[in-house]
Structure 1
């Protein structure tokens, strides 16, 4: 088990475990007494927190949804900043970020189920690619204002981030590859497959 003494491996495990913390589930149970895994889309993300808790307390639902977004994003920010504090290589930092998103989407605390990875991915990319992330947030904000549909807005923001990353950074600094970013995008896209199907069927609705 010597590999467990490798600091990179330790960070990979830490990132996956931190990413897996189901803040949406914890907050909704603690403050609203409801289990988001049993309602709505059964996701632990902010959109489902809003949808499920709203049935009991609309005002509280919005507060818990905002808290869920911030805490889920903080998971991505925290593991990357910690990796930077330990002077881990850029490649390792990216791997840590991917694993944090993977942990959120396939949480070891929820039998490898989880959220859709948007907020945690946003936290990772806010540190690693701040300009592209700002563009993505802008696109998301416009789309959520126009459509009120979270999944469509998130996917639009993801598309904007990918396009802008190739335009601003034809090669990602230090690693010279978009592979980690594309992995994060693939995970988020994969978790949104049911939403994409509903979008094409015209059945995807706003949670508010």
Structure 2
């Protein structure tokens, strides 16, 4: 019982379970009557929600895509902010961030299936590395506008965060940058199929403004 009395352990478990909440699945089923886990890329993230819902209800697709993006980011933000509120160490907060991301990518509620992790990574990083994350967000926005390839834009945004951390931030505030690299590895790993399609020139474009 002493194990579950440890505040760090409690937050690690909560972070994973909160991160596991599949908002894309819930919103698409509730408002559009579709199952995103069996359509499109089968991802639970905003891009697949947008793409799948657009097939049957274009007017609703953008709204649900934006809502999914916001909620997936917010679940990461809230668990990190809650950890800050109770006074968790910065090292522990990075652990909370990683577990929230793992929850999204390998959801406890979807038999360890999940999304690509971009929005949730954004949600945790905006708290822990605000300036590099804002820069990375700008890189993503410009890339998305120009390239109209969601996966490539997301990966470029992630690179923007890492490079900005090297240039503008004094590391992560802890002894190592490894937590950031773990987050980057998870997101890149989940994007391997997309990367293969990008190399082959087969990755689909998405009209984000439609």
TM over 0.5: yes
TM-score (norm 1): 0.98
Distance 2:206 2:157 in 1: 18
The correspondence of residues 35-74 of structure 1 with structure 2, limited to 5 A, is: 35-74=35-74
Local SS of the residue matching 1:68:
helix
Structure 2 regions of 5+ residues with no counterpart?
A: none
After superposition, give the CA deviation of every residue in 1:150-207 in whole Å (9 maximum; x if it has no partner): 000000000111111111234321x121111111000000000000000000000113
* Count of aligned pairs between the two proteins: 207
After superposition, give the CA deviation of every residue in 1:10-32 in whole Å (9 maximum; x if it has no partner): 00000000000000000000000
Provide the alpha-carbon RMSD of the alignment.
0.8
Residue 108 of structure 1 is matched in structure 2 by 108
Residue 181 of structure 2 is matched in structure 1 by 182
Residue 195 of structure 2 is matched in structure 1 by 196
Task: Give the Å deviation of 1:2.
Answer: 2.2
Distance 2:159 2:35 in 1: 31
The correspondence of residues 1-208 of structure 1 with structure 2, limited to 5 A, is: 1-173=1-173, 175-208=174-207
TM-score (norm 2): 0.97
Structure 1 regions of 5+ residues with no counterpart?
A: none
